[in-house]
Chains A and B, each alone.
Chain A
């Protein structure tokens, strides 16, 4: 069998079996094992088993449960709620203020843990009812929540970024640093968009009718709600950037910080911790089982010799690097419609990264572009995680169709920022280069 036949067989069976709605982990693993048996000999399967043993003791992947645990406790302990109250006092008077405040809170949450589900669920429960009560436009409200929630993918620390860095074999710390500026730019873009939309059409976000400002003392007092989250952010990111701890150790420090915060709020009860641990295992097991399947799939894929022939093919194409880059990004956006991000990383990064290297692009920069396509994937149907989370908390009478319409402008904004970073790579590479220089 030629490698092309094997490859075609692998991908056709991948698509066909995925459509049966079988778990991705088993689909990837089973195809990998069957390919190995039919092409080589059964004893070659031992490689997959040894890889699994290696995955089981990966220090870097161990950061995943720790960040998920942080997010779950922050959400359950009402710390996000306190933040939202403070934000309402500060931004509530502005036109479109609640929407901007939602983006701000999502940014703060993203800087703490970056678990998209936690941000979307929390904002869906807190921000959505209060925006709807104030007669905010439904599409604008849900779009803001979905787009804001996905900021967690880009703004460090982020689980998706960790998986990317591990798969691409680049430093997780550097990848985090590279994501800071793009994350801020994206969050700012959302805010600017909201301000422009609302000033063009004030009906989208009516100001509150009752006059009478919240007095300054009350405003300042509400700021104490920020203290705990900033303590957590500082303990996590601070210990990474100052070189005190690896991202995994920093996550452990962050878990400690969130426990302290929850205790401070008087919410640290056994039931809460038990529920948070349950959430954590559910998410971690899901990611890690896919990782096992995908690693087996990738090693079978690599063994067919396909990556080499693909690289050779691209070189003979003589296409401009930009065109190749565009094709890769389009594939990522397309896959994002159907596949989970962790799955996409594990499938595509080992294939794409040699190409990125050959073209002379910076893997950090490509990583940032990847994270933006990942955010696009998270808000687009049919496989948009944020839509699932939001659907669970959506008030009755709002059809999922309105949610889809609501996310469209934000999808366009993400596309705009993606193009911006492609045309001005310095926006991404400047900060990590500064750090590298020192």
Chain B
């Protein structure tokens, strides 16, 4: 159990570390667009659009690991000094909320992403790329969030056992 939880955490950390480089690609694409518009007087049709397609995967793939590292904004007014069972109950509540959030978005985004893939949906712009890879990241990120929630649950209860 513990190994599985560690594995999930390691996978999400890896995805975080991989996704963080996308910001450089986004910056480069936007810069290229500005330069080609003014220097070569020929705006590209694809650079800004490709950047926006990378933006979603960038921040979505970073999210699940934040659940582990405590990077999501929360109000720790009451829970700062809590210990023991109450604290555990609060963490469980947090995990339930994360699972509800991830589960519902997954439930609705998954069929949309599958449709997008089956119909080879395109963006209807002048570049007109297929957009399913970007769309598919939403259900994927939610699945990863649910898995990380499970891992956090394991950590909470195993830590308790280890103390005894």
Contact = CB atoms under 8 A, between A and B. Distances in A.
B73 A340 contact: yes
Interface string B49-91: 0011101101110110011010111111111000000000010
Contacts, number: 193
A19 B77 contact: yes
Given A21-B75, A22-B74, A66 B112 contact: no
B138 A56 contact: yes
Given A33-B101, A56-B134, A59-B51, 19 more contacts: A18-B75, A20-B94, A21-B77, A21-B79, A22-B74, A23-B67, A25-B101, A45-B104, A49-B105, A62-B55, A65-B26, A65-B59, A66-B27, A274-B20, A278-B17, A284-B58, A285-B60, A285-B62, A289-B72
B98 A284 contact: no
B153 to A, nearest CB: 14
Interface string B105-148: 10111001000000000000000000000110110000000000
Interface in A19-69: 19-27, 29-30, 33-34, 45-46, 48-50, 52-53, 55-59, 61-62, 65-66, 69
B21 A252 contact: no
Interface stretch (A4-12, A74-82, A106-114, A241-249): A241-249
Contacts of B93: 17, 20, 22
Interface in A127-160: none
Given A256-B31, A282-B71, A284-B59, A62 B52 contact: yes
Nearest to A280: B23
Interface of B: 16-17, 19-21, 23-24, 26-31, 33-34, 38, 48, 51-53, 55-56, 58-60, 62-63, 66-67, 69, 71-79, 90, 93-94, 97-98, 100-101, 104-105, 107-109, 112, 134-135, 137-138
A205 interface: no
24 contacts: A20-B94, A24-B75, A29-B105, A30-B100, A33-B100, A33-B104, A45-B107, A48-B108, A53-B112, A56-B60, A58-B52, A65-B58, A69-B27, A249-B30, A252-B31, A255-B27, A255-B31, A256-B31, A274-B20, A277-B24, A281-B23, A285-B60, A285-B63, A288-B59
